[in-house]
């Protein structure tokens, strides 16, 4: 699963990497939590232009009656995303890339859960920004007349790579650059072809290390969240 992640690289840099027009700006965050906004890349639903926008984390399908639905849809499993009612429509036409520098998992050690920060690194061992594969949706509150659209997203997860299995049995779907164009293409609706893209994951070269329990609270932010520790701090 993926319940927290970071995005500290400048929005303009992510937009440049993805070849997208930057529509929204968000301040850097070392502790993005569900219901908060994050930057995603998508094809504009009308113009088809590739854009980077800020959406709320926790996908609310168009048919949901209540915004609280998004609390249980922060992640979508790659093995069921094509058939789950909450995700199958978005999987067909509303795929996106979620900008990130890394994420947190809580490793179980006895009776403790140790927060661990995970980043992808390049061939030289240097951390690099990446994108999670995601889905997005727009929702109108049926209880509000002339409601404005609330746009939300979810992060896809998959079985953890061997290098990270000791931390958690699942990990975000970190999508390889070669698959970005097809993943974002709203014209690609063939389920078999889209499901094939779920194999386009970056599974090698990850850096994982323990961090302070300071990150446990979504109210906390800043570089302290990602500072490596040798033992857990209270």
* Contact indicator for 154, 75 with CB cutoff of 8 Å: yes
101-151 pLDDT, tens digit per residue, is: 999 999 998 888 999 999 999 988 899 999 999 999 999 998 888 889 999
What dihedral angle (degrees, nearest 10) is formed by the CA atoms of 46, 151, 135, 87? -110
Domains of the chain, CATH where assigned: 5-226 (3.90.1680.10)
Q: pLDDT digits over 154-211, tens only? A: 999 999 999 899 999 999 999 999 999 999 999 999 999 999 999 988 878 999 999 9
d(C-alpha 149, C-alpha 62), whole Å: 10
Q: Tell me the pTM.
A: 0.95
Q: Is pLDDT of 233 > 50?
A: no
Distances (CA, A) of 229 to 8, 67, 100, 125, 226: 20, 37, 22, 20, 9
Helices (H) and strands (E) in the chain — how many of each? 4, 13
Contact 155, 98 (CB under 8 A): yes
pLDDT digits (tens, 9 = 90+) for 66-105: 999 999 999 999 999 999 999 999 999 999 999 999 999 9
Q: 194-203: b or e for each residue (b if 16 or more CB lie within 10 Å)? A: beebbebbbb
**pLDDT tens per residue across span 32-49:** 999 999 999 999 988 989
Q: Which whole-number Å values give the CA distances from 195 to 73, 104, 131, in the listed order?
A: 19, 26, 18
Q: Under a CB-based contact definition with an 8 Å cutoff, are residues 114 and 124 in contact?
A: no
Burial (CB count <10 Å: 0-12, 13-18, 19+), residue 47? exposed
**Hey, CA dihedral for 143, 219, 38, 34, is it positive or negative?**
negative
């Amino acid at each position: 699963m993926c319940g927290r992640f970071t995005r500290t690289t400048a929005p303009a840099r992510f937009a440049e990497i993805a070849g997208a027009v930057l529509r929204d700006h968000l301040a850097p965050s070392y502790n993005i939590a569900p219901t908060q906004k994050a930057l995603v890349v998508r094809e504009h639903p009308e113009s088809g232009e590739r854009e980077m926008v800020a959406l709320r984390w926790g996908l609310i399908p168009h048919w949901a009656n209540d915004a609280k639905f998004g609390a249980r849809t922060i992640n979508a499993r790659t093995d069921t995303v094509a058939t789950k009612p909450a995700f199958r429509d978005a999987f067909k036409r509303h795929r996106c890339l979620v900008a990130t520098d890394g994420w947190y998992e809580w490793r179980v050690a006895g009776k403790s859960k140790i927060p661990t920060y995970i980043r992808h690194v390049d061939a030289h061992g240097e951390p690099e920004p990446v994108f999670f594969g995601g889905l997005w949706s727009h929702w109108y509150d049926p209880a509000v007349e002339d409601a404005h659209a609330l746009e939300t997203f979810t992060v896809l997860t998959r079985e953890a790579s061997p290098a990270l299995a000791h931390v958690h049995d699942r990990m975000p779907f970190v999508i390889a650059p070669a698959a970005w164009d097809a993943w974002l293409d709203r014209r690609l609706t063939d389920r078999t072809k889209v499901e094939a893209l779920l194999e386009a994951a970056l599974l090698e070269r990850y850096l994982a290390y323990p961090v302070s329990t300071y990150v446990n609270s979504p109210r906390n932010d800043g570089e302290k969240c990602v500072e490596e520790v040798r033992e857990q701090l209270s």
